[in-house]
Structure 1
Amino acid sequence: MTLAIAVASDHAGFELKQTLKQELEKRGITARDFGTTGMESCDYPDFAHAVGRAVADGAVQLAVLVCGTGVGMSIAANRNAFVRAVVCSEPLSARMARQHNDANVLCLGARVVGVGTAIDIVDAFLTARFEGGRHAARVAKINAN
């Protein structure tokens, strides 16, 4: 089965999202684009909520959201009870978020990280796996509230 992940951005993250989408497709990963489609000003919650629903419904397992800082996208995405969105600006946090927190949405700031670093962060996020064990009980507590 080919991995399919959701990607979305607002206007501030559009160019980085497009670059990341191309990088994912080079790796044989299907990138389902939830918008935006250009540089015109738009509202990030619209895209974060659409992606959150796709994660909750099981249409995608993972997602990458991009806005100016990643913060707005993460706040909006985390409104969905099935989303565990994290903002990362370096690969270690992305890897640990997957391994220990079973994070399923990565948020990036296009004004915070460069393209090369963003690609490294996405790679760390996508290649890491949830370790379970003692972490599973903690994630269950997150999901219980």
Structure 2
Amino acid sequence: MPMTRPMTRDELAGLIPHAGTMCLLDGVLAWDRSRIRCIARSHRAPDNPLRHAGRLAALCGVEYASQAMAVHGGLTSGGERPPAGYLASLRDLACHVARLDDIAEDLIIEAENLTGEGSRMIYGFSVTAGGRELLSGRAAVVIDAGGTDRGVA
């Protein structure tokens, strides 16, 4: 996967509607027209806003993947924040662990645009750590044609 240069958390935060601790990704490692690879450390943070009763369920990996997809959308559209995107469906979702907060290694989030352009896309995604797959699946994403900035990436 070609890489123009790694992106920092501050740079990628401008491409998604999430702010503060809700911006879960720490950087972009590589990307091209169809794929992106991101890194995250926030799964270990006690103040992670997705934690419930002190734990971060593996299903929260879907939000990490969603943010990677949103960043990819911004990068492939010239570095501008894309309109809000919504997860229309998830398919073939597989969780191989129960929790993310007890994973010592950094998370690597990969997403690939499998099909679609314009306002509807299907991405395949995976979340791994230390070479082990933690979560994977496919997501249908619909981009808000109205261009509002209020939704989930």
Same fold (TM over 0.5): no
Greater strand content: 2
- How high is the TM-score relative to the length of structure 1? 0.31
Higher RCO, 1 vs 2 (CA within 8 Å, ≥6 residues apart): 2
- How high is the TM-score relative to the length of structure 2? 0.30
